[in-house]
Amino acid sequence: DIDHLNLRVQKELVEWLNWLKADIGFDGWRFDFAKGYSADVAKIYIDRSEPSFAVAEIWTSLAYGGDGKPNLNQDQHRQELVNWVDKVGGKGPATTFDFTTKGILNVAVEGELWRLRGTDGKAPGMIGWWPAKAVTFVDNHDTGSTQHMWPFPSDRVMQGYAYILTHPGTPCIFYDHFFDWGLKEEIDRLVSVRTRHGIHSESKLQIIEADADLYLAEIDDKVIVKLGPRYDVGNLIPGGFKVATHGNDYAVW
């Protein structure tokens, strides 16, 4: 175990981080298992090394109901993520992985897309509260890959990417999906839409529809994304929008 309250430990770790920046060229940090030490400690390392970006892994359990599925309201879960950023410094480079969005998306794409509209009408994950500080993802090396601890439904992974790559937040693409699963071209097309239309971490999200078989949302009045098997949504798409890319149970205009 490392005693992060030990001043010598802090000094040597800060020196190492600054060496990684100055000599090796790293400019961002990932704080692994960040719930294992206080946000005050993470703040010391961020303040004294001044990275351009920092993201924390704060993986806690969602609130579940008697049916074994996540409750609609996950405010306590995302509040933990917000609290960490607040304590580290909301005006600095600190962000957290949006595990709330990940957990809800896991279930929503299995015929429960109504979950993607929270009780306040906004996105139900951290991106609904503080998108500038939320790093969204579909899977990572813990949840997917060989560890397979909380995997996204494998036949619906592209619905997950259609969501995070069109929505606010800072989306993160999983190496396995991009290089090993044969999804590179599909993901690339979504990235191109995001880049071309200037969608960013604080883009405006308007949820048009959220039913069991259909999720429809408009981002920055420029991009519309549809998830789910419902095919006939033409009456919900404003004039002037053309399909940019589509795949299994998703489309982007």
Query: Among 60, 63, 58, 125, which residue's Cα sits nearest to residue 95?
Result: 58
Q: Is pLDDT at 2 greater than 90 in this prediction?
A: no
- Among residues 23, 32, 67, 185, which one is catalytic? 32
Residues with Cβ within 8 Å of 235's Cβ and at least 6 positions away in sequence, in order, are none
Mean pLDDT of 204-219: 98
Closest by CA to 80, choosing from 97, 104, 103, 66, is 97
Please say if the pLDDT value at position 97 is more than 90.
yes
How far apart, in whole angstroms, are the C-alpha atoms of residue 161 and residue 158? 5
Q: Which contacts (CB < 8 Å, 24+ apart) does range 63-70 have?
A: 69/107, 69/112, 70/103, 70/104, 70/107, 70/115
CA angle 13, 17, 21 (to 5 degrees): 165
Among candidates 92, 79, 78, 81, which has minimal Cα distance to 56? 81
The CATH superfamily of 58-203 is: Glycosidases (3.20.20.80)
Cβ-proximal residues to 129 (8 Å cutoff; 6+ apart), any chain = 78, 82, 122
Spatial contact of 9 and 3, defined as CB atoms under 8 Å apart = yes
Domain ranges of the chain: 58-203
Question: 108 falls in which pLDDT band (50, 70, 90)?
Answer: very high
Residue 32 annotated as catalytic: yes
97 beta partners? 135
DSSP-assigned letter for residue 64: B
The active-site residue, picked from 57, 110, 142, 209, is: 57
**What's the confidence (pLDDT) of residue 146?**
84
Quote the tokens at residue 243: 């399909």
Residue carrying structure tokens 């990684």: 20
Residue 51 pLDDT class (50, 70, 90 cuts): very high
Is the model's pLDDT at 223 over the cut of 90?
yes
Quick one: average pLDDT of 176-196?
A: 98
> What's the pTM?
0.96
Residue in 66, 170, 167, 70 with CA at minimum distance from that of residue 110: 70
Task: Please state, in angstroms and rounded to a whole number, the distance separating the CA atoms of residues 218 and 237.
Answer: 9
**pLDDT digit string (tens) for 131-176?**
999 999 999 999 998 888 999 999 999 999 999 999 999 999 999 9
Dihedral (CA of 115, 116, 121, 122) sign: positive
pLDDT beyond 90 at 32: yes
186 is catalytic: no
